[in-house]
Amino acid sequence: MSSSLRAMHTGSHTLEISGIRKEYPGTIALRDVSMTLAGGKVHVLLGKNGAGKSTLVKILAGAVLPTAGRILLDGSTVDLRSPRDSLHQGIAAVHQELSLVPELTVAENILLGRFPLHRKRPRIFIDWNRTFQEAGEVLMQLGARVDVRQRAATLGVAQQQIVEIAKAMSYNPSVLILDEPTSALAHRETEALFGLLRGLASRGVVLVYITHRLEEIHRIADTVTVFRDGEIAGSFPVDAATPGMIARHMFGGTVQRRRPPGLQVSRDPVMELRGFSRSPVFENISFTLYAGEILGIAGVLGSGRTELLRSIFGADPHDAGNLLLKDTSVVPRSPRQMKRLGVALAPEKRKEEGLVQILSTGTNVCLASLRKVSRRGFVTRAREDDVARGYVRDLDIVTPGLDSPVSSLSGGNQQKVVIAKWLNTDPCVILFDEPTRGVDVEAKQHLFEVVWDLSKRGISAIVVSSELEELFDVCHRILVMKKGRITDEILPHESTVEHLLSVCMQ
């Protein structure tokens, strides 16, 4: 082994985060966060999407610079201006998004930029025998069986995740940050990882662990810290981390906006899925959506929610099962086909997939229904403006003018433009993927009211959201997805947000 891999830290390390603040234009991601993380323990970070935990991890990893505050490792201030700085200071992060180079071998990915060298004057060569040996030893510590000579592109997702972890471990870090590391691991691989983490803890390494799985918290954590709205809502020992305690800190004193009275659901089926599958992403999905119903789908990241919506819309393929629209069997093959049949999708990435940023607000409203505003194959400006003006008025879209680029609008108003674009196609079902992500509280309320109004008009909706309390606010019924399967059905009027959180995290 090289000296960098042989060296073992002695003593217990301490990571101190003092007054960390991160501001972006128009928003504050972190508000003066301070915490001390002791070595020898596993510190779990929890929080809803947008709560601030990922921003903090990026700052610690050197990927994002804080607006204010400082970071101390073992009592000394560290300046983290790049990922290289963090690694040199002994802080390694395993991000949820894989970052392997597909065409390189496992060993090359693990030791990228730090290959053992063989000097044969006047030239210097990579010592490939030592490279494969050292990479193999790191994997051996993980209890992983991966061929170090195999190309990363040929590995499954679980094996790629193991290689990512091995790459971080090869730095023998003082601080190790893991963001959802078990999302693609099998039980045996997860147990091996937990064994490794306990070993690192015994050497005094500071371990920061992000997860959405409640059962993992009690198997691996020593302390739990919950983030909410860019601040630390609470920090407590794992013995006190009951689902109720976690939910209270995650959601705080959220005032739930219940659906308006009289928002009834017809018993007429609009859409039915029977054994709908796309291996290995989701399988055997079956449910019925009724006219005017708002159906929520809850689940942690990676549960298959987004992929399910995309396959229903024909944007991605499916390989088994049936989809019925108003009792007619349909094989979703393309968004154009599904639009013609009355299905619309407001995607999670609205800026990239839902809108054309350089085009005007008016043009974006009419993009999915050009025939309505065309004459003899040419778009008529007067018709486009007339249609767009009506939706701007009805949906209360705040814009400087129909000619203004849609990129100039706030996140909430851009989302309303996406909805307007699809309403103009006269849909019977609208699929909403994270509709309130990145919008402020007032805009969220407006979006809720839009969805409720659609229900009153008999238009059905499927809403995927990581904001569990919002699903309770909006939906008649909530399905829970785990690892590509529907596992539970919850009726908001008979349950609580705390119960839904517990079900999702089990």
Reported as a single tens digit per residue, the pLDDT across 371-416 is: 777 777 777 788 888 888 888 888 888 888 888 888 888 778 888 8
**What is the pLDDT tens value at each position of the chain, 506 positions in all?**
444 444 444 468 999 999 999 998 767 889 999 999 999 999 999 887 668 888 899 999 999 999 999 999 999 999 999 999 999 999 999 887 778 999 999 999 999 988 988 887 778 889 899 999 999 998 888 777 889 999 999 887 778 878 988 898 888 889 999 988 876 666 677 787 888 788 888 888 899 998 877 778 888 999 999 998 889 999 999 998 887 788 788 877 555 556 677 777 888 999 999 999 999 899 999 999 999 999 999 987 778 899 999 999 999 999 999 999 988 999 999 999 999 999 999 888 888 888 888 888 888 888 888 777 777 777 778 888 888 888 888 888 888 888 888 888 877 888 889 988 888 888 999 999 988 876 666 677 778 888 898 899 899 999 998 878 888 888 999 999 988 999 999 998 888 887 888 787 76
Phi first, then psi: give them for residue 226, nearest 5 degrees.
Answer: -105, 130
Which pLDDT belongs to residue 5?
A: 45
Contact (Cβ atoms closer than 8 angstroms) between residue 75 and residue 14:
yes
Classify 102 in phi/psi space as left (phi over 0), alpha (psi -120 to 50) or beta.
Answer: alpha
* Rg, C-alpha atoms of the chain: 25
Superfamily of 3-251 according to CATH:
P-loop containing nucleotide triphosphate hydrolases (3.40.50.300)
Which pLDDT belongs to residue 257?
A: 56
Token pair for 82:
């790049």
Same fold, 3-251 and 264-342+427-506: yes
Question: 461: which strand partners?
Answer: 294, 430
Which pLDDT belongs to residue 258?
A: 63
Contact (Cβ atoms closer than 8 angstroms) between residue 423 and residue 417:
no
The H-or-E segment that residue 128 falls in is: helix 128-142
The answer to whether domain 264-342+427-506 has CATH 3.40.47.10 is: no
With tokens 């217990």, the residue in question is 12
CA distance 282 to 276: 8
Token pair for 495:
């349950």
Angle at 246 between CA 240 and CA 252, to 5 degrees: 125
Contact (Cβ atoms closer than 8 angstroms) between residue 105 and residue 93:
no
Q: What CA–CA distances, in Å, run from 176 to 85, 228, 483?
A: 14, 23, 26
CA distance 95 to 167: 11
Query: Which is it for the CA torsion 83, 87, 89, 91, positive or negative?
Result: positive
CA distance 240 to 67: 33
Q: Which DSSP state fits 425? A: T
**Domain locations along the chain:** 3-251, 264-342+427-506, 355-424
**500 exposed, middle or buried (CB, 10 Å; 0-12, 13-18, 19+)?**
buried
Token pair for 222:
């020593």
Token pair for 281:
């992403």
